[in-house]
Amino acid sequence: MCSPPLVGRARERRQLRTAADPGRLVLVAGSAGSGKTRLVQELHEATDTTVLTGHCPPRAEPFPLAPVIEALRGAPIPDGLSPLCGALHALMPEHGDRLPAPLPPATTPADDQHRTYRAFTELLGALGPAVLVVEDVQWIDQTTRDLLHYLTPRLPPTLSLVLTYRPEELPRSFPVAALAALAPATTTHDELTLDPLTPQDLLTLAHGFTATATAEDAHRLHA
């Protein structure tokens, strides 16, 4: 199925495409339906860099690390990972034949969590130039939130991080923009806010589906 046309986002498209360059942190804010996911698809269409995308699910019960596990599900697992990455066996059993041997049980839950965060950071850095996209961060679980707080100050130089979210639904306990202060000095930080489309943009979009759409239709949609 073809993606719908991307209209009215020329500036944001140019900004986002730079996320394919290594060592960038890009925050994409917009209300529901503003086109964040469609904009992020531009990364897949505009670059040969590996783009890994995962979504925070809107669950009443948390699903720890769901977006990162989803993003890495189809990733090519490289050779040469350290034994530490054996900590990911239980989380990514589909890659069991490519990961180092499982680690012995950790002595405490905190130790297990720390090993997991270090292992994800190593694996993401070993993928070569790559972009990790985490969508719908307003629904992020605590464990993934903690991973981002660990990963961002240690962002591998070959990795860029793109986070999309609805600012009106973002928990006060997780100010996403504050992650920029944690990033290494070598990391470039961009913030994109998707404003509502104009009536002319909506008309152009509507013409992608039906030639009979009128300017009056577009104004009604805009209202």
The residues with which 132 forms a beta bridge, in sequence order, are: 52, 161
d(CA 130, CA 118) in angstroms, rounded, equals 18
Q: What average pLDDT does the chain have?
A: 86
d(CA 147, CA 143) in angstroms, rounded, equals 6
156 vs 39, residue with greater confidence = 156
pTM for the whole thing? 0.84
**pLDDT tens per residue, range 50-72:** 899 999 998 777 789 999 999 99
d(CA 5, CA 175) in angstroms, rounded, equals 31
Sign of the Cα pseudo-torsion (158, 155, 126, 163, in order): negative
pLDDT at 10 over 90: no
Positions of E strands within 36-158: 50-55, 130-135
CA-based radius of gyration for the chain: 19
d(CA 152, CA 138) in angstroms, rounded, equals 18
Q: What is the DSSP letter of 176?
A: G
Q: Please give the average per-residue pLDDT across 175-187, as a whole number.
A: 91
* Tokens 């130039």 sit on residue: 129
The pLDDT, as a whole number, for residue 154 is 95
pLDDT at 179 over 80: yes
* Tokens 């805009």 sit on residue: 222
Put the strands of the sheet holding 130-135 in their side by side order.
50-55, 130-135, 159-165, 24-29, 188-193
The residues with which 28 forms a beta bridge, in sequence order, are: 164, 192
The pLDDT, as a whole number, for residue 20 is 73
The pLDDT, as a whole number, for residue 14 is 77
What would the CATH number be for the domain defined by 10-56+63-76+127-195? 3.40.50.300
Domains of the chain, residue spans: 10-56+63-76+127-195
